[in-house]
Amino acid sequence: MDLITKQSIGLAKDGNRRELARLLSSIESGAKLEIESSTPWVLGVTGPPGVGKSTLIGAMIEEWIDRGERVAVLAVDPSSPRSGGALLADRMRMSSADSSGSVFVRSLATRNHPGGLVPFLDPMINLLGSCGWSRIIIETVGGGQSEIRIVAFADRVMLVDGPDRGDIIQAEKAGILELADLVVINKSDLPNALNASNSIKNSFNYSDKDDEKLVLMTSALNNDGISELINHIEELEVDNKRNSLRFKERLLSAWDYLLLSNPSLSEILLDLESGKINLDEALKRL
């Protein structure tokens, strides 16, 4: 590693945000930095579009800052430009605390990385951790396999839903619910929220009695339930059963990445297509 990189890691650790942003970009473009591995605190936040994830994260950040934490957010594929950095920046401007040094937001687009974000997430999280960001949030818009794989990089997973019960059924199907430590029904200020929360609690009672999952209600808009939510999150212990599920997802992602980045992949695909080789032979060649 060259001197410049070492220097800029030093600067990032001293709180230089521009250097931190630059280092994250170079990780994204494939640079391998030597960062001592820290044990960062990471929360994955996922859920259907528009349920208020970013607004809720904004409210949580204010609470964390009040408690002396520094919070970094990696927003994966923010669906609107306002949902990532801009929204949080607005919210921070509105809050009275001078929080500029305590929040860092970075957007990541999976479309720039056909093989997935896997090779970058770990080093990015590590870099943020070793630069003193004490609470690291990964926000994804939930729905499918790729979200599961991304939130699996967090040791704690929170599923956010709205008052419409239909959404959570999607999450059940996708298997995100299995990875989640807690479910938050946001928009508790809207009429159906309590029903949604009760029906989710009931479905948990039926499906898995050993796996007690927390269901909380918040209104990110009115700052309702935020401090309780943070209390619960801070008390979460890393769950072994879910942890091994998460490691399995991480391993699968790494495996996929290895396969997709194999230089002879396109050649092997051609040979498969033309019937020259079968799947077993293809696997051997890979």
Ligand X SMILES: Nc1nc2c(ncn2[C@@H]2O[C@H](COP(=O)(O)OP(=O)(O)OP(=O)(O)O)[C@@H](O)[C@H]2O)c(=O)[nH]1
Binding mask 20-49 for ligand X (x = CB under 6 A): -----------------------------x
Distance CA 29, CA 112 (A): 10
Nearer to ligand X, 12 or 187 (CB): 187
Residue with tokens 């077993």: 280
Nearer to Mg ion, 83 or 197 (CB): 83
Binding mask 98-117 for ligand X (x = CB under 6 A): --------------------
Q: Which of 127, 141, 180, 217 binds ligand X (CB under 6 A)?
A: 141
Binding to Mg ion (CB under 5 A): which residues in 82-111? Answer: 83
103 is written with which tokens? 């929040």
Query: Of 30-38, 81-89, 213-221, 258-266, which part binds Mg ion (CB under 5 A)?
Result: 81-89
Q: Is 126 in the site for ligand X (CB under 6 A)?
A: no
Spell out the alpha helix ranges (H) of 30-117.
53-66, 87-94
Query: Of 168-176, 208-216, 219-227, 257-265, which part binds ligand X (CB under 6 A)?
Result: 219-227
Give the number of other Cβ atoms within 10 Å of residue 110's Cβ: 15
Report whether 161 contacts 183 (CB < 8 A). yes
CA triple 150-106-96, angle to 5 deg: 120
Nearer to Mg ion, 54 or 102 (CB): 54
Q: Is 53 in the site for Mg ion (CB under 5 A)?
A: yes
Q: In this structure, which amino acid lies at residue 149?
A: R
Q: Is 187 in the site for ligand X (CB under 6 A)?
A: yes
Q: Which of 186, 229, 246, 253 binds ligand X (CB under 6 A)?
A: 186
How far from each other are the two terminal CA atoms of the chain, in whole angstroms? 31
200 is written with which tokens? 């989710």
Residues facing 215 on adjacent strands: 183
Closest CA to 70 of 126, 15, 151: 15
Q: Is 54 in the site for Mg ion (CB under 5 A)?
A: yes
Nearer to Mg ion, 54 or 126 (CB): 54
Distance CA 161, CA 218 (A): 10
Q: Which residues bind ligand X (CB under 6 A)?
A: 49-55, 78-80, 83, 141, 186-187, 189-190, 219-221
Q: Which residues bind Mg ion (CB under 5 A)?
A: 53-54, 83
